[in-house]
Structure 1
């Protein structure tokens, strides 16, 4: 029962995403007492990320292979017309998509085995003097913690309480995930640059032979008819869906509706008998793309993951940065807890790390300025040239990762 005053702990982690679970687990393994509070009642419920793990993450972190999809080596980039795409094939396994709900559950079991006390259905309500206020299923409770870690997403309440920086440049994304019959297919990541459907970012179809992800993302104030409508429009004509059995929307090879599709109230395609609506997983949420925040630590705690802006400004990939920044956070907090020196958190310097993102921040500004189909088509045309293909390969298949401290 979560009421009254809880025992004092070394560390309160707020948020049980990948960054929060990793930070809590590693600090518990180093002998510290850790409480993890998560507002969701079930970790296998709502998922907000596509869950794409890149090659460096797969090489450097121990992820459960049973929760990873088949490897992907092909990236296909399309202009708005979908004609003459740029096809890039890698000699390496570049991406694998995590089945995030069971992965979170597996990571939580590892955290509990390490000694982390996990409080589900518990919302962080801020500080009251030296105590942190938590609202759980049985009412409010107070907890004293030597430090607090904000792993509570792009709009972090912990950042506000600690007086740290907060994300201001956000994309908003929506995605539908369809389980499909396992089949022989070249796994591929199809990306469309079209500011009408995905203003400032991309629309995508990711097919690894087991699941198909169809999504769009962009700046919220630049979707003329709303993000969900953009997703419906994209699904109705998205490349990479032809021949996939049982999917709603999209067009077949002849440009017509896929077998099993029926007309919805608005005249568009909707799932036919081949796909049960209960099987479709819907995801969505904010994506910080303003780069790593400058002030991500103070004397009372620090931020990790999306709360710290640890997302690639260009690709919006956040799983590799969240794990690497969490490793740094673990080292800094371990030193502070063992020595009793709060000033150890000064080493957790977002401004110094941010300086290494200048190139990606410049490219983010460039992508945000693509506002017409003609400009998008011209950009993809540049990628067809040898220098453009080389640049695209460096960005999409490069071995670089989040910078170390």
Structure 2
């Protein structure tokens, strides 16, 4: 039976980034994912925020044009609140390309990435993979999504507050229109969240998300209803792709680590409770996770694991968790109309700009080997 220092379950952005960092620190690392191709089963829109683009080395050729305008619509779709930034606030990535870039970077760090391999469970330090396969691992990193099997098997916390989302993605005809991000607050099609259209001049992403129990007819039907009249939509000029999946919005989980493993990405609840943005959080939390794993495997000191503390991270999210509860309570179109009307006031516009264009990041960690985990700064989408 082969042995490795770390087995990472899940070859998404969080898993591959964590694996690369561990490989660069000299650990033997294997990543497994049940998908046979990284372009299959994509569940994210692929929106990167400005702070991520500033702080991480993302491949320029895989990023679409910058988006500076956000329009917030009530259910009537009339008189949207328009917010504009002097900087590029969002860029939509070619996510299959980003995943492949991350896979190659992990491989260059000595990481073995095995696709088409299903995680079956863990017994002590033996991880079962498929019917007749197993790996002996000193440590397991769960990067296997919002409904993490690794979290369950290690006795760690699991996500319990989930949205379900679906999206249509297609190429559009190039034009001279300015890229924009359209957001529609309408509980009839997206209860507890919103519908969106982001058009960066190359591709259009049209999606809805909300609480599944409140979706009349299911998310796929509501997506089709929304797409037929969505503001800012463009006609497709090529193949139409459908994406979808669960989105954890309960905030960072409290118990993220134990002596056998830890969680990153969606498995850890590393998603903004308010905006449901997860790409920036997953990269930042992976940086902290990799440092903690290296220090723990070198020292064997359980106190190192306690520095990977979900409770400390959650303290930065009290305001956004409260706003998540408010958004979840908007169940009637009239209430949504009033909420958007409030955003037209100076105070409302300032609050919206802070959420959508703010300079804070979540979670922002600065760690040095041998030192305690340092600061965690404020959240942003």
| Structure 2 equivalent of residue 368 of structure 1 | 328
Of 87, 96, 109, which residue of structure 2 is paired with 1:92? 87
Question: 4+ residue stretches of structure 1 with deviation over 4 A?
Answer: none
Q: Distance in 1 between matches of 2:177 and 2:58?
A: 24
- In structure 1, stretches of 5+ residues that fail to align are 248-274
Matched residue pairs, number?
365
Of 150, 156, 159, which residue of structure 1 is paired with 2:151? 159
| Structure 2 equivalent of residue 54 of structure 1 | 49
| Structure 2 equivalent of residue 196 of structure 1 | 188
1:37 aligns with 2:29: no
| Structure 1 equivalent of residue 6 of structure 2 | 11
Of 274, 277, 286, which residue of structure 2 is paired with 1:326? 286
TM-score (norm 2): 0.94
| Structure 1 equivalent of residue 246 of structure 2 | 286
Q: Distance in 2 between matches of 1:130 and 1:382?
A: 54
Q: Distance in 2 between matches of 1:334 and 1:302?
A: 12
Of 96, 107, 128, which residue of structure 1 is paired with 2:123? 128
Q: How does 1:187-336 map to 2 (within 5 A)?
A: 187-241=179-233, 244=234, 246-247=235-236, 275-276=237-238, 279-336=239-296
Q: Distance in 2 between matches of 1:296 and 1:394?
A: 29
1:183 aligns with 2:143: no
Of 164, 168, 173, which residue of structure 1 is paired with 2:160? 168
Structure 1, residues 188-233: CA drift from partner, whole Å, max 9, x if none?
Answer: 0000000000000000110000000010000001111211111111
Of 65, 68, 74, which residue of structure 1 is paired with 2:69? 74
Shift of 1:128: 2.5
Q: Distance in 2 between matches of 1:36 and 1:317?
A: 24
1:28 aligns with 2:23: yes
Does the CA contact (< 8 Å) of 2:125 and 2:138 recur in 1?
no
Does the CA contact (< 8 Å) of 1:147 and 1:301 recur in 2?
yes
Of 328, 348, 358, which residue of structure 2 is paired with 1:388? 348
Structure 1, residues 257-280: CA drift from partner, whole Å, max 9, x if none?
Answer: xxxxxxxxxxxxxxxxxx45xx11
Question: What CA RMSD, in Å, does the superposition of the two structures yield over aligned residues?
Answer: 1.0
Give the match's secondary structure for 1:282: strand
Does the CA contact (< 8 Å) of 1:299 and 1:343 recur in 2?
no
Does the CA contact (< 8 Å) of 1:300 and 1:342 recur in 2?
no
Q: Distance in 1 between matches of 2:39 and 2:226?
A: 27
Shift of 1:130: 3.0
Give the match's secondary structure for 2:232: coil
Q: Distance in 2 between matches of 1:87 and 1:386?
A: 13
Shift of 1:36: 0.5
| Structure 1 equivalent of residue 372 of structure 2 | none
Shift of 1:342: 4.0
Give the match's secondary structure for 2:132: strand
Q: Distance in 1 between matches of 2:336 and 2:232?
A: 19
Q: Distance in 1 between matches of 2:354 and 2:191?
A: 24
Does the CA contact (< 8 Å) of 2:125 and 2:139 recur in 1?
no
Q: Distance in 2 between matches of 1:198 and 1:11?
A: 39
Structure 1, residues 258-317: CA drift from partner, whole Å, max 9, x if none?
Answer: xxxxxxxxxxxxxxxxx45xx111100000000000000111110000000000000000
Larger of the two Rg values belongs to structure: 1
